[in-house]
Structure 1
Amino acid sequence: MKYLPVRSRLQILSDLRAVEIFLSLVETENLTRTAEALSIAPSTVSKKLTELELRANVRLFHRTTRQLSVTPAGQAFYRHCARLLDEAEAVERTLNPDAEDPAGLIRMTTPTALGERVVGPLIPGFLRRYPKISVELDTSARTVSLLSEGFDLSIRLVHASNLTDNDTVLSWNRRRFCASPAYLARHGTPQHPSELSQHNCLAMRLGSTGDSWVYTEDGRSRTVSITGSLRSNNAHFLAEAAAEDVGIVLMGPFVVEEFLRDGRLVRILVGYEPRDTAVSAIMSDGAMASQHVSLFVDYLKSVWPLPGQPEPDGQ
């Protein structure tokens, strides 16, 4: 006997357009920007959101006259709805294989130096390949929240021990101790990391914690306290200062490789480098099933210019 439901199986999600509006509101936190992105009136956005909350019988956003912020219930709802809508898009592509080329906006964030030196130069090739996809790149030294700040993708440096199933490793990154030949001629070349406390160390400014650098000895991670005349959240600026004979830096190859090639910096303390960190791509929960975001991660994996394996200890 054919199954005839007494009522619709979908109550809260009976209006997928309202779900699409809800997702956009979470990502933009702005009624007007959502209306512009979806080419609808702001009044329609407000009406659809109200209807969705009434069906769900839960408040999805905190609203003030100036701000719209997602509630904990809204965050949980967002994670599920993002996957749902992406699955709906996949169904449409299955039914219509001649559909248009992949399209959409990718909002991504990277550390400043990594974005400027590696990620940024790779983006034009992707945009030429997929002209209907657009990319918004944020470069910042701070740690961002993918969900609350509306980012689809983060390219970040992660200690190998902290990698999760959600991380896609693009490359391994072993930081190098470097200084200019002139600095070393004047101040001497340290033979052991413990001597770094006697040198001018140019350090990344990360929060308010005390300055220390990690190094590896006899297979174990150790730390040394450092001081220096310059701190910054911009790694490339620090490398430039080191190349101008100011002090010693501890930087990844994507920052210092050009300085090493032209001889403005040289490696020191080889064999004591900290353990590897991974250059990792992590997608937000809502972006995991998005075709255009997945295409970009796959593209990065195929063209990433740095070595794909960790260096052996002591190299």
Structure 2
Amino acid sequence: MDTIDGMRTFVTVVKEGSFTAAAGRRRMSTALVSKYVGQLEDHLGVRLLNRTTRSLTLTEIGAAYFERCQQILDDLDELESSVQDRHASPRGTLIISAPVTFGELYLTDVVARFLAAHPDVRIDLNLTDRFVNLVDEGVDVAIRIAELEDSPLIARRLAPARIVVCASPVYLKRRGALRYLNDLEKHDCIVDRNFRSGSLWQFKEDGKQKSIQVDGRFTVNNAASVRRMLLADMGVGLIPTFAVGPDIRQGRLKILLDAYEGSNLGVYAVYAHNRHLAGKVRAFVDFAVKCFGASPEWDQY
């Protein structure tokens, strides 16, 4: 066993919480993962992990070794990347996290085109609306749709993400039009918990912040589900245009209250740092910027 391979396997076991999960991540058998960790312990002459049938915990010396291993492996990866980037095309596994709806509608197509252009790259795409800690979870790039706050992370804007109020023509015919923010209080509003303000919808009028508390019978944490409820004539929704652009263009949904400015968020690629930035990360972010741009297809209506 190569010591570096043993260290990588050990770190993966700790991060994944089990030999089986680590085997899946490392693309090797569970038996081989266990063998590598055992050989590493024999080489060091210490026990790194306490193993039972139900749990896996670090020993005191194992915890200290784990921290140093992570730093050594990160430094080694940076060194290799800085050398390889000078002479080679992007290669290796790129781990990406992205919101579910945006990932399904747009990012997966970009990933497919990127993989076709870079045959030496593998991509592990994790679609989740959960906030992901890049460093703790080993993610190379996270796609975030937000107004980004100050952060040690590096962020590149890929595209705008306008937030609009929508409803179907059938719903509006049944319940009446909306002209003012206060009209929302009379309507069934579909609430997306992915917005931090929840049912307190935020707008701007003449540059001034305005908020209105809405109510409705359906709450969810997914923009695609909000869209389906809108198309089912079930209410009024606050939703990003990337989720409903084609529906607006084809008349299935109508933008409401356009005299009021909703949140203008951005689609960002976020990564931990740019010192010796891995070529695969740089190449993917550059590629995504070109694919989306300042006037993305979802705003063409």
TM-score by length of 1: 0.75
Deviation (angstroms), 1:202: 0.9
Structure 2 residue 71 is the aligned partner of structure 1 residue 80: yes
Higher helix share: 2
Q: Deviations over 1:209-248 (max 9, x none)?
A: 8622111123232321111122222212211221232111
Structure 2 residue 33 is the aligned partner of structure 1 residue 45: no
Amino acid at match of 1:298: D
Q: Partners of 2:63 and 2:160 in 1: how far apart?
A: 35
Q: Deviations over 1:84-130 (max 9, x none)?
A: 122331365379x3x6x533222222111111111111111011111
For 1:94-109, list aligned pairs within 5 A.
Answer: 97=87, 101-109=89-97
Q: Partners of 2:208 and 2:69 in 1: how far apart?
A: 42
Corresponding residue number in structure 1 for 2:116 = 128
Corresponding residue number in structure 2 for 1:262 = 250
Corresponding residue number in structure 2 for 1:303 = 291
Runs of 4+ in 1 over 4 A off after TM superposition: 15-19, 32-36, 38-41, 49-54, 59-79, 160-165, 206-210, 284-288
CA distance 1:35–1:121, change in 2 (3 Å)? closer
For 1:105-184, list aligned pairs within 5 A.
Answer: 105-162=93-150, 165-184=153-172
Amino acid at match of 1:275: S
Corresponding residue number in structure 2 for 1:248 = 236
Amino acid at match of 1:157: I
Q: Deviations over 1:121-149 (max 9, x none)?
A: 11110111112212122222222333444
Q: Partners of 2:231 and 2:20 in 1: how far apart?
A: 48
Q: Deviations over 1:264-308 (max 9, x none)?
A: 111111132333212111224699833223322221112125637
Q: Partners of 2:7 and 2:274 in 1: how far apart?
A: 13
| Contact 1:155/1:281 (8 A) holds in 2 | yes
For 1:189-204, list aligned pairs within 5 A.
Answer: 189-204=177-192
Corresponding residue number in structure 2 for 1:282 = 270
Corresponding residue number in structure 2 for 1:3 = none
Corresponding residue number in structure 2 for 1:185 = 173
Q: Which moved more, 1:183-192 or 1:173-182?
A: 183-192
| Contact 1:106/1:135 (8 A) holds in 2 | yes
SS at 2:145's partner residue? strand
Q: Partners of 1:224 and 1:42 in 2: how far apart?
A: 56
| Contact 1:109/1:138 (8 A) holds in 2 | yes
Corresponding residue number in structure 2 for 1:9 = none
Q: Deviations over 1:167-214 (max 9, x none)?
A: 222112120111112222222222222221211111113499862211
Q: Partners of 2:98 and 2:283 in 1: how far apart?
A: 18
Q: Partners of 1:217 and 1:208 in 2: how far apart?
A: 20
SS at 1:216's partner residue? strand
Gaps of 5+ in 2: none
Q: Which moved more, 1:112-121 or 1:75-84?
A: 75-84
Deviation (angstroms), 1:21: 3.7
Deviation (angstroms), 1:19: 4.4
Q: Partners of 1:89 and 1:217 in 2: how far apart?
A: 52
Q: Deviations over 1:18-49 (max 9, x none)?
A: 54445544554444555673766532234326
Q: Partners of 1:247 and 1:287 in 2: how far apart?
A: 48
Q: Partners of 2:204 and 2:210 in 1: how far apart?
A: 6
> RMSD value over aligned CA atoms?
3.7
| Contact 1:53/1:60 (8 A) holds in 2 | no
Q: Which moved more, 1:225-234 or 1:299-308?
A: 299-308
